[in-house]
Amino acid sequence: MKEIYTNLLVSVVTTLLLFGMLEGLTRLYVWGQTDMSFSIKKDLVQLVDNINISDNTFNIYYLGGSTVEGGFFGEGFTIPNIIDYMHDHEIQGKDIRSINIAKSGEDFYYNLKRLRIITSNKDTFKPSLVVIYSGHNEFLKFHQNYGLQLDSAPLEWLMEHSLLLKKIAARLQLFKLEINERMFSDEPLFGNDQYKAVIDKYQSELEEAVQLLTENGIPVIISTVAGNYTGWQPNRSIYCSNKQDKDFWRLIQRGESAELASDFNNALNYYQQALHLCKNFAETHYRLGKIYEALSEYDKALEAYNKAVDLDGMPLRASSIQNDFIKTLNSDKSVFVVDAVKALQEKSDTGLIGFNLMMDGHHPNRQGYLIISNLIAQKITDIFDTELSELHDIELDRTREIFDMDDNVYFVHYVSIGRWFAKLSTWRYDPGERLNMSEESFLKAMELDDSRYESYLGLATVNFLRKNSVKAEEYLAKAKSIDEQHVGDYLKGHWVQAIIKYADDN
């Protein structure tokens, strides 16, 4: 018996040592791929070599992901390109070179690692100016591969802390579809301590970026980060204590009924009472914002909408805490803060930002892009005292012509945003509104070109998510008849397979 226990102990220790070694190698590999200075420098050098920077060019480094790159508008209509056009392609007599060192879906730390290389190798990268528009992606790490169901607390702890297990789970596609897992009163994605840690990390990284640039004499423009406050619902609302609190749910239901009947004063009363029972429930603040907006009390609506963003239990938009911190970074010498949120508000009839200036939760629409780009372009003019008497104005109806946004660009735009809305629909307890927007986008794509498979495939996805398998299969058959190869490849995706199974099971 003693020998059995000894062998068992040896096996356990050996397994733990092997796991530890593999975990260490995994972390070393990931670090080598993402954090090693020589690897980052090599990528950056290749990036700038492709656009021929020199001492005779004005080199602007942008730290911003998909928003800076035009969201879903393609490679032509981007903040750097708009600013370039507004400045007639030169600053201080030098041709503009724009380099976005950020990456879609990455947090600010990704930018900071690259900024460290640039500031320590100024002779190579020759930065004239840095522009920072970043803050939406700080909580994305909590979204990645969300949905693995584990009943064991030790296994949950291991999954949270082990890169090796996360990679194995991703490879084996163990993660479930989120739709129907969400509830009106939802589970937190992270604790208060984790939320604070993310905000603190973001602020310290911004401070380091400012310090690096100041010490190296490189001017920087930092912008607040705007979102869709009136039209984009919270992803998760977390109840304060007992989910079975009947008084709270009764008030919410009465408020909803009054709101649907356009009885806004009574709706306001019910939602305010519900707020007294749970002040941190994001959905209540969002609905209060809607009521205040309907009553033309726009300042109160703005306050409520901001709280809905700040209290979202699955955030994707930058919080007011982040934007308030950005405003403190302004200096008279080389750090210049511009307020994109305020600029958009000033262009809104109500002072509120919604689908009037945004295309989804945090990517601007064409008008929004022009406003933000003009704000940054004007600040560049102020800083460098350019000889340009005034910025080249861009009228909204000329953007398609100026930036070569033909029907093909718009077709891809509508398909991309349709897929994005479909994906995000699964993040919320009620996917209906986002699925409607997804469907509308695919139908717009079909109007532009009904001979391509993408719009039919998108409409199939929407109907699978609506559990309408019959209609989904009709669209899917049409897509296959146009391009069976690409449709087949798309259907192999784990997420797509999950929604088809979801529809069939229901």
Contacts of 13 (CB under 8 A, 6+ apart): none
CB 189 within 8 A of CB 316: no
Sequence-separated (6 or more) residues with CB below 8 Å from residue 143: 189, 314, 316
Domain-by-domain residue ranges, the chain?
2-34, 45-140+193-231+318-401, 246-310, 407-505
Amino acid at 101: I
Q: Kindly report, residue by residue over 196-236, the tens digit of the pLDDT.
A: 999 999 999 999 999 999 999 999 999 999 999 999 999 99
**pLDDT above 50: residue 146:** no
Mean pLDDT (the chain, rounded): 87
The more confident residue out of 251 and 15 is 251
State the architecture of 246-310 in CATH terms.
Alpha Horseshoe (1.25)
Concatenated DSSP letters of 156-220: HHHHHH-HHHHHHHHHHT-PPP-TTT--SS---SS-HHHHHHHHHHHHHHHHHHHHHHHHTT--E
Residues 246-266 have a mean pLDDT of: 95
| Class of domain 45-140+193-231+318-401 (CATH, top level) | alpha beta
Distance CA 139, CA 152 (A): 25
**For residues 14-43, average pLDDT:** 67
Q: What is the mean pLDDT of residues 477-493?
A: 94
pLDDT at 148: 42
For 436-451, what is the mean pLDDT?
Answer: 98
pLDDT, tens digit (0-9, with 9 covering 90-100), for 322-373: 999 999 998 778 999 999 999 999 999 999 999 999 999 999 999 999 999 9
With 80 as the cut, is the pLDDT of residue 27 above it? no
CATH topology of domain 407-505: 1.25.40
pLDDT tens string 412-427: 999 999 999 999 998 8
Per-residue model confidence as pLDDT tens digits over 158-189: 555 665 556 655 554 544 556 666 788 888 87
Sheet with strand 94-100: strands edge to edge = 90-91, 94-100, 57-63, 129-132, 220-223, 335-338
The pLDDT assigned to 504 comes to 81
Q: Is 102 helix (H, G, I), strand (E, B) or coil?
A: coil
Q: Picking from 224-233, 235-244, 295-304, 309-318, which range would have the lowest pLDDT averaged per residue?
A: 235-244
- Secondary structure class of 450 (helix, strand, coil): coil
Specify the pTM.
0.86
One-letter identity of residue 479 = A
Confirm whether 45-140+193-231+318-401 and 246-310 share one CATH topology.
no
Q: Would you say residue 118 has pLDDT above 70?
A: yes
Q: Is the pLDDT of residue 97 over 60?
A: yes
More confident residue, 3 or 176: 3
Q: What is the full DSSP assignment across 273-319?
A: HHHHH-TT-HHHHHHHHHHHHHTT-HHHHHHHHHHHHHT-SS--SPP
Measured distance between the N- and C-terminal CA atoms of the chain, rounded to whole angstroms: 52
Secondary structure of 335-374 in HEC code, one letter for each residue: EEEECHHHHHHHCCCCCCCCCCCECCCCCECHHHHHHHHH
Strand partners, 222: 132, 337
User: Cα(218)–Cα(440) distance, rounded to whole angstroms?
Assistant: 45
Most confident of 45-49, 239-243, 450-454: 450-454
Whether residue 154 is predicted with pLDDT greater than 60 in this model: the reply is: no
Q: How far is CA 22 from the centre of its chain?
A: 32
> For residue 147, what pLDDT is reported?
43
